[in-house]
Amino acid sequence: MTDEAADLEATLLREHPAAARSMSALGRTLAFPRGIPFQAAQARGTSINATLGQLTDDRGHPLPLPAVSRGLVGLDPRQTFLYAPIEGPAALREAWLARQRRLAGEPSVAVSSPFVTHGLTHGLSLLADLFVDEETEVVLPSPCWENYDLLFTMRSGARIVPYSPWADSSFDAGRLAAALATVRGKALVILNFPSNPTGWWPDPGHARALVDVLVAHPGPLVVVTDDAYQGFVYEEGLHDRSLFWDLAERADPERQLIVKCDGATKELVFFSSRVGFLTHTATGEAERVITDKLKTLVRGSVGSASGPALSLVAAALADPRSDDAFEDRRQLMAGRYRALRRALKNLDPERIRAWPFNAAYFAFLELGEGLDAEVVRRRLLEEHSTGAIAFPDQRALRVAYCSLDEKRIPALVEALDKAARP
């Protein structure tokens, strides 16, 4: 470990013990090098700046090829065509945090400035590098998004602690408590609500029970709220904000670090943007340390986020019409959700039974005894020209109704019914 990394570790131990004790072996060694980006930042604003290797007109303006710039008219040229700061543009980070606070009802709890990532998956990958190694236990619901396995076991060597949060079709936070009780060292918990693949979001009682379990844990514990589908909720009376804020208001820095992982993919319906954000409960000097380590990881991988995507996200955040446009799309999804619920009522629950769902893009359909999920998936594909995702371990199919017109959803369910006949 370098002297710089040792200084960072000492600072983090003093300012946020849970974060320091949760660091992976790699995370402990990370310290942003005092090389080109560091020295270029110090030279920002000088009259003669010969630090960065990017072509400009001597006044800091970019010189893009016309064939490129013609497709990006209206965007700020400097933000669009020049290197972005590794942690992301300050104005964009401020705008994203302001949006998240507004959506959550303006909570007063202090949190970090969002750190820009190259998409939500990249954000999770950074967290895996920073906090996960062979000494970490990663607590995940079953079933879960398959990419978690790539991120936390194949990349980082962690041990997965799975738990089923459902008891007789009812959510049971006690299942999470039981899984956490088996942990003997440091742990990372993923809360993926609204969830992929089940499409479920908690009501206030379930949310409170989840938070109670997590803040009672002795730590060290990193809790990550994967908020990929934030806002796509279709029933009344459900919890009205990301669980990040509930956890942040009650977390003890001696025991827990809470991290919000989100992005423009679904929240701005900008799937190719690859713009994500990490916001957490370490502030002050602890935030400086974590930012330094995250910058080191980004510098050694993607370098920085894409300028055109950052500019487009900033433009969307600045446009007062964006909230109404998102609500239009949420209402569109709500119509598809209701159409699916209506159609599923016509099925024999002995052959196809939907798990609880009320949000996101998916429904999770458990097949009856004697049916094989992969066989049914192949029948759908080959006999009914219908695609779905098989989850063989749960004997289930995931259907993404987000991509179907409301009027075509009965045809989807009819195909499922035919393919699931013994």
Per the CB < 8 A criterion, the answer to whether 361 and 232 are in contact is yes
Q: So what's the pLDDT on residue 194? A: 86
Contacts of 259 (CB under 8 A, 6+ apart): 127, 222, 223, 224, 225, 244, 278, 279, 280, 281
**Residue 17 in 3-state DSSP?**
helix
Alpha-carbon distance 203 to 243, whole Å?
11
Task: Determine which helix (DSSP H) or strand (DSSP E) holds 325, and give its type and residue range.
Answer: helix 322-344
Angle between helical axes of 204-215 and 243-250 (0-180°, round to 10): 40
Instruction: Summarize pLDDT for 116-169 with one digit per residue, the tens.
Output: 999 999 999 999 999 999 999 999 999 999 999 999 998 888 999 999 998 888
pLDDT at 59: 85
pLDDT at 41: 84
Does pLDDT of 199 surpass 90? yes
In this prediction, residues 407-416 reach a mean pLDDT of 98
Task: Give me Rg for the CA atoms of the chain.
Answer: 23
Cβ(261)–Cβ(226) below 8 Å: yes
Provide the strand spans (E) within 169-327: 170-171, 186-191, 221-226, 256-263, 276-280
Q: What value does the mean pLDDT take over residues 374-384?
A: 98
Give per-residue burial for 214-241: e unless 16+ CB within 10 Å, then b.
bbebebbbbbbbbbbbbbbbbeeebbee
Q: Which residues of 17-40 are buried (b: 16+ CB within 10 A; e: fewer)?
A: bbbbbbbbebbbbbbbeeeebeeb
In the beta sheet, which residues pair with residue 379?
none
Instruction: Tell me: pLDDT of 52 over 90.
Output: no
Give residue-wise pLDDT tens across range 237-262. 999 999 999 999 999 999 999 999 99
**pLDDT score of 335 more than 90:** yes
pLDDT confidence band for 37 (50 / 70 / 90)? confident
The rounded percent of the chain whose pLDDT value lies above 90 is: 89
Tell me the mean pLDDT in the region 39-64.
87
CA distance 241 to 257: 19
What's CA 133's distance to the chain center, in Å? 20
C-beta separation of 50 from 38 below 8 A: no
CA angle in degrees (0–180, nearest 5) for 125-273-277: 45
Summarised one tens digit per residue, pLDDT across range 64-86 is 999 999 999 999 999 999 999 99
User: What does the pLDDT average to over 55-62?
Assistant: 89
pLDDT of residue 274: 93
User: Running DSSP on this structure, what letter comes out for residue 153?
Assistant: I
Task: Using alpha carbons, select from 255, 246, 281 the residue that is nearest to residue 104.
Answer: 246
Q: Looking at residue 49, what is its pLDDT? A: 86
Residue pair 31/3 in contact by the 8 Å Cβ criterion: no
Helix or strand or coil: residue 203? coil
pLDDT exceeds 90 at position 420: yes
Confidence of residue 312 (pLDDT cuts 50, 70, 90): very high
**Residues contacting residue 38 through CB under 8 Å, at least 6 positions apart:** 32
Q: pLDDT grade, residue 9 (50/70/90)?
A: very high
Q: What pLDDT does residue 23 have?
A: 98
**How many beta carbons lie within 10 A of that of residue 330, not counting itself?**
16
The amino acid present at 13, given as its one-letter code, is: L
Domains and CATH numbers, the chain: 3-31+84-318 (3.40.640.10), 323-419 (3.90.1150.10)
